[in-house]
Amino acid sequence: MSAATEAFLAMLAAERGAALNTLAAYRRDLGGAEEAIGDLAAVERDAVAGLAQEWASLAPASVARKASALRQFFGFAMDEGWRGDDPSGALPAPRSRRPLPKLLGHDQIAALFARAEDDAMGNEPRAVRQLALIELLYGSGLRATELVALPLSAVPRDAPFLTITGKGGATRLVPVGARALEAVGRWMAVRPALPASRFLFPSKGGAHLSRIRLYQLIKALAARAGLDPAQVSPHVLRHAFATHLLEGGADLRVLQTLLGHADISTTQIYTHVDAARLVALVNSRHPLATRATSD
């Protein structure tokens, strides 16, 4: 990659606190663009316009993501004085709607937890860890990255809250329910003694459980519970947490705080509920709902 692109990535890490996964995504998108059209700090506008053809086979969401990365780079390049123009107007701008996350119903959640609880009956450490993981995913709505990186110091002592460091280094307090507290307590009782690890869910090497391993564990559990593994993931459990809280009457602003969303529009998409339930809510709760219509 060019020196300018590396400088941009360094800025994202230092000034914006971008997570490793975010940096990796920017590196892929910017690196791919450089392979196609050359050094982004010096490339001509016509070459930038040619990316539309280069990206023709990609989904609209992928094109939008790549274009966003380049727009940010070009803005940075102008601020640094490397470019006197901003060619981002030549980038393709597809219109795409964010897909709604997959949704698990209450019966599916119950089946998943019943299987996890059965697995943990013998108090085998891996099974107890599995139960603690899904309790925190569904009970507190944590992101996969936040969950696996939880330090031991995050385990609640005086108050049932976790202090979570989320995207961009932002911190938030997340309540932990009684079930999750019990599951975490069971895990702490059987957690392997690894003095070198400061993480709640350590790996053998002293680091923390990986996101990939978490995904594998959740999908394997789904299969044992009779669910389609393709429909179940840590992200789906986070979405179920938000959706089911909303169904129970939680305020959207509260959900925004719990989920760690900077923009409430993200929460509105994340906590989508079906139209029929909304219609029923209006019919039962609106002040005019119980008044008879005049002839």
Active site residues: 143, 167, 235, 238, 261, 270
Q: Which residues pair with 174 in a beta bridge?
A: 162
d(CA 214, CA 194): 19
d(CA 6, CA 249): 46
Residue 278 burial by Cβ neighbours in a 10 Å radius (0-12, 13-18, 19+): exposed
Tokens linked to 191 = 């957690």
Q: CA-to-CA distance for 80 and 96, rounded, in angstroms?
A: 32
Q: Specify the residue for token string 């920017």.
A: 26
265: Cβ–Cβ under 8 A, 6 or more apart, which residues? none
The dihedral built from the CA positions of residue 103, 105, 109 and 114, taken in this order, carries a sign that is negative
- Backbone conformation region of residue 79, classed left if phi is above 0, alpha if psi is from -120 to 50, else beta: alpha
Q: For residue 30, what are its two tokens?
A: 């910017």
Q: Residue 232, SS3?
A: coil
Using alpha carbons, select from 144, 20, 29, 42 the residue that is nearest to residue 87: 42
